[in-house]
Amino acid sequence: MWSHAGVSALPPGFSIRRPTLDDVPDLLKLAHASDEAAVGEPDFSTDDVREALTDANTDMSVDCWVALDADGSIVGWTYPHNPTGGNRDFIEVYTWPGRGAPVQRPLLELMLARVAERGAAFGHDPYEVRAGAIPTESAYIATLLDAGFEFHAQHARMTMSLAGVSPTPPAPPEGVTVRVLDHTDEDELRRFHGVIQEAFRDSDHHATSFEVWIDRVRAQARVSWDEWFVAEVDGRMVGALQSADGDGSAEDEGWVRSLAVLRAYRRRGVGEALLRRAFATYAANGRARAGLGVDMANPTRAARLYRAVGMHPLYEANIYRRLA
């Protein structure tokens, strides 16, 4: 029987090992099964799995584990996320509904021990660890609370149908120009990234360097650059909308990964203009719906904007935190 000092025992026949890229298809099935049980539909893509295993500051040979049942099927997976080496990790623990329950606590315990090592390696003391759970995932929430986590915030996954959305967007407010990002211009890419970082400075956003950000973008299997937009006022880039392929539950969903407007230009219709341009383009590209994630406590009151343009929460997720 597998054992590890300080980690809860596994049932007879169960085992834990490190993942490899050969596991990607099985890990995607696991993530989809977990998502379907929690929120009613899958919310993970192949690119998401690969990114989780190979992201900056994640080494699957030391930072990640998978758990197998007596039949050798993968029923659990855990990994950390801290691409910047900042002072906190976000951890995920996926388990197959029902049959993966016995591996949830051991995987969490392994990850918490590893996170403490990561914090020391990054040079942070204290070091924070966060985890998310759908409010209906009572067993996982209880496991997190037993491990010393406390409730921190609530996020929502917003969605809307694009049925009836015109492929021609409404005109932006006077003085505001919205156009497609020129991804071939590195200076423009740097300004685009800079707007996102500056706009989210007053939120709980984890800052990312341009080099890490662009490497992650270019590592994606596909990037629909025609769905990335900038907003300008008097020739200055003041807003940015970054879309992402495959971040939603299906290929027919347009996903807003980041929507950012500089503080001095908020409440002037810039964010709404970017969203409506994105929705029109998603519709023109044949996508059936649009989606994004939002911190319900965001000081920019982003959730109010998303509701105003017709979006609604598909589900909400709690964020928990503790010191490593």
Note the pLDDT of residue 40: 86
Asked if pLDDT for residue 80 goes beyond 80, the answer is yes
Nearest CA-CA partner of 275 in 314, 235, 241: 241
**Domain residue spans of the chain:** 15-148, 158-315
DSSP 111: H
Q: Are 110 and 16 in contact (CB under 8 A)?
A: yes
Q: Is beta strand 229-233 parallel, antiparallel or unpaired with respect to 150-161?
A: unpaired
Residue 198, pLDDT above cutoff 80: yes
**Burial of 174 per CB tally in 10 Å (0-12, 13-18, 19+):** exposed
- Whether 274 contacts 178, CB under 8 Å: yes
- The predicted pLDDT at position 3 comes to 57
Decide: 320 and 91 in contact? Cβ < 8 Å.
Answer: no
User: What digits encode the pLDDT tens for the residues 112-165?
Assistant: 999 999 999 999 999 999 999 999 999 999 999 999 999 998 999 999 999 999
CA angle in degrees (0–180, nearest 5) for 114-298-242: 80
Contact 247, 255 (CB under 8 A): yes
* Mean pLDDT (whole number) for 271-275: 97
pLDDT at 247: 56
**Is the dihedral angle over the CA atoms 53, 57, 61, 65 positive or is it negative?**
negative
pLDDT value, residue 216:
85
Q: Is the pLDDT of residue 301 over 60?
A: yes
Helices 138-146 and 101-122 pack at an angle, to 10 degrees, of 40
The mean-pLDDT minimum among 67-81, 102-116, 138-152, 193-207 falls in: 193-207
CA distances to 93, 140, 162, 283 from 167, in Å: 40, 42, 10, 6
Percent of the chain with pLDDT over 90: 77
DSSP string, 44-60: --HHHHHHHHHSTT--H
pLDDT band at 250 (very low <50, low <70, confident <90, very high): low
With a cut of 60, say whether residue 246 has pLDDT above it: no
Q: Give the global pTM.
A: 0.78
pLDDT at 1: 45
Long-range CB contacts for residues 197-202, cutoff 8 Å, separation at least 24: 198/260, 198/262, 199/239, 199/240, 199/260, 199/261, 199/262, 199/263, 199/300, 200/258, 200/260, 202/263, 202/299, 202/300
Q: Is 28 left (phi over 0), alpha (psi -120 to 50) or beta?
A: alpha
Whether the bond between 106 and the residue before it is cis, its omega within 30 degrees of 0, is: no
Question: Which residues of 210-288 form beta strands (DSSP E)?
Answer: 229-233, 236-244, 253-261
What's the fold here for domain 15-148? Answer: Aminopeptidase (3.40.630)
Query: Nearest Cα to 231, choosing from 173, 166, 168?
Result: 173
Angle between the N-to-C axes of helices 46-54 and 24-39, in degrees from 0 to 180, rounded to the nearest 10: 110
CB hemisphere CA count around 148 (13 angstroms): 8
Q: Does domain 158-315 have CATH number 3.40.630.30?
A: yes
What are the pLDDT digits (tens) for 81-107? 998 899 999 999 999 999 999 999 999
The pLDDT of residue 158: 93
- What does the pLDDT read at residue 52? 94
Both tokens of 101, joined, read 């329950």
Evaluate whether 15-148 and 158-315 have a shared fold: yes
Average per-residue pLDDT in the chain?
92
* C-alpha R_g of the chain: 20
Mean pLDDT, range 283-312, rounded to an integer: 87
